[in-house]
A and B are shown apart, each in its own frame.
Chain A
């Protein structure tokens, strides 16, 4: 009976499938592709000369440099702590593990604006450590350290979240084997664990970097919007936009969008260059499926 019903279902399923695919594509086009195109169209609306002038403006340059600096500090920081946290969660049993997982998710759950306000509360002139910092002439809030702190906070979950499922799926067998073969913990990490997680790690780093460069809310609260000093690219875009300087605003915005496109292209390129590793990845999935059955 089941085999007699099968073709009928298939024929009936066809229009539904087309409809689903079409609506998914329409959705992607409307909400992802069109805005992207709009950014570049607006940026180049007054010609290439105006575009180049907008992005070579000293204030724009300062914003670009600051954004790169913040990402260059926040991403490695989260790389180290994300790997450490994922390692601890995936490979060990300890008290407070579920609390740690919840804490890692906290930046996702909290609005970035609140995240910014937390740092004002801690390090602002009326904050908990405000007096101490003033006495020692250390500026955190409305300065680069505050922007870095806020960015680290907001982007913390990206790498850890990406790695935890990968490491959990891989289990501990490989590491235990390496140790039994006489490897030190350090050798085990560099030679066994890291190669096993490198694609997850790379993906986490790309996402973390994209967010670190693009973060607006938290950075906006702690930055103070001092042009040329504490303005990151997203903040600079907003200022330009509020001054009705649309071309310049979209020009800087297009740089951010370009960064995103480059990271995505880079990821695809790396995957394409390493077919062998893709196969190994599917083997790992096979193994997982087999272990479950």
Chain B
């Protein structure tokens, strides 16, 4: 089922949670709504689910206006961050719930329910846990039960509100991959909310970045990561170094580095900033670029993060650069060493945030 939002807006008292949202989710897509807390991503998800009514705009399911449909008629599966398992029911009864509450003429027989629930429990690798109670399961297991329960009614759309937010990182990583596989096998339309850019990039086909109730950017993960259209998105999708841009004689500079080549100098406001990701900094010999001193070296698994104090930059705001472990072992930087910096890529924004 495809979903479309047209001019969606929602106020909570004085607070505008979301405003003027247009979004198209094609059938079978796996979309991440990404943003900081309070950006309206959960509100948007709840509007799609029918748990909130928008003040303005329309929600279209396969082109039909579903704005006023109650949640139970929308055929959506909704998964909460804290699982919301019915704690007085066994795992089996939890998963069977959606089948058992169907009107009598649609309800499968008890034997069919048993078969269906058991196969769903196998699917989420919890075939052994039917008799357990939610309190006896770990967080990751509970979330898998919640997913099985949502899938039991054969939803057209699966909506997940920070589904892995309460889990530790190992389990989170496994469940992400598992969700991705499940989605590819079952071909429903999925939308999930997250504040974790890593998660969004890893799992989703398309990322929708939200900020203050509005869509900042929409695109495939690599595009959003590589070509952010605003400083906000650039900052939110990974580490960045923020550097002041200086314009003189028709050319633009960061420190002594001439960045005019890929910068529209004439449009560069006097208080612009250049954003450079840590892996976009190239470290070479002292005379080869912007002179800097290595002030810290941290080995983080496959990468090495260097803190660099560049000439003319305040000492308490060192630049962060990342190089591969192999390169680090080959070159071997140490604290106090003098190096020269160059930028592989950068992006200039006016100080107030929009793309230059």
Known A176-B51, A176-B84, A196-B88: A182·B133 in contact at CB below 8 Å: no
Interfacial chain A residues near B134, Cβ < 8 Å? 280, 283
A180 within 8 A of B: yes
Partner of A184, one of B51, B80, B101, B153: B101
Within 8 A of A (CB), among B91-124: 97-98, 101-102
Interfacial chain B residues near A290, Cβ < 8 Å? 82, 166
Beta-carbon contact of B150 and A181 below 8 Å: yes
B240 within 8 A of A: no
Count A/B pairs, Cβ under 8 Å: 80
Interface stretch among B22-30, B71-79, B183-191? B71-79
B149 within 8 A of A: yes
Partner of A181, one of B80, B82, B98: B98
Interfacial chain A residues near B101, Cβ < 8 Å? 178, 181-184, 187, 191
Residue in B closest to A93 when the chains form the complex, CB atoms:
B12
A135 within 8 A of B: no
A258 within 8 A of B: no
Beta-carbon contact of B97 and A180 below 8 Å: no
Partner of B84, one of A174, A182, A187, A279: A174
Known A176-B71, A279-B135: A181·B97 in contact at CB below 8 Å: yes
Interfacial chain A residues near B70, Cβ < 8 Å? 179
Interface size on B, residues (CB 8 A): 30
Beta-carbon contact of A182 and B82 below 8 Å: no
Beta-carbon contact of A180 and B135 below 8 Å: no
Interfacial chain B residues near A174, Cβ < 8 Å? 84, 86
Beta-carbon contact of A280 and B133 below 8 Å: yes
A284 within 8 A of B: yes
B49 within 8 A of A: yes
Interfacial chain A residues near B150, Cβ < 8 Å? 180-181
Residue in B closest to A277 when the chains form the complex, CB atoms:
B88
Interface size on A, residues (CB 8 A): 25
Beta-carbon contact of B149 and A181 below 8 Å: yes
Q: How far in angstroms is the closest Cβ of chain B from A287?
A: 6
Known A192-B86, A196-B88, A290-B166: A180·B133 in contact at CB below 8 Å: no
Partner of A178, one of B88, B97, B146: B97
Beta-carbon contact of A283 and B82 below 8 Å: no
Q: Give per-residue flags for A270-289: 1 if the beta carbon is below 8 A from chain B beta carbons, else 0.
A: 00000011011001100100
Known A176-B78, A183-B101, A184-B101: A283·B87 in contact at CB below 8 Å: yes
Within 8 A of A (CB), among B122-180: 133-135, 146, 149-150, 152-153, 166
Interfacial chain B residues near A277, Cβ < 8 Å? 88
Interfacial chain A residues near B146, Cβ < 8 Å? 177
Cα distance, A174 to B102, chains bound together (Å): 18
Interfacial chain A residues near B84, Cβ < 8 Å? 173-174, 176-177
Cα distance, A264 to B209, chains bound together (Å): 56
Cα distance, A173 to B74, chains bound together (Å): 17
Could you name 14 residue pairs across A and B whose Cβ atoms are closer than 8 Å?
A: A178-B97, A178-B101, A179-B71, A180-B50, A180-B51, A180-B78, A181-B77, A184-B101, A187-B101, A191-B86, A191-B97, A192-B86, A280-B135, A283-B135
For the complex with contacts A191-B86, A191-B97, A280-B88, 18 further pairs of A-B residues with Cβ separation under 8 Å are A173-B84, A174-B84, A176-B51, A177-B80, A178-B97, A180-B49, A180-B51, A180-B72, A180-B77, A182-B98, A183-B101, A184-B72, A187-B101, A195-B88, A196-B86, A196-B88, A283-B134, A284-B87
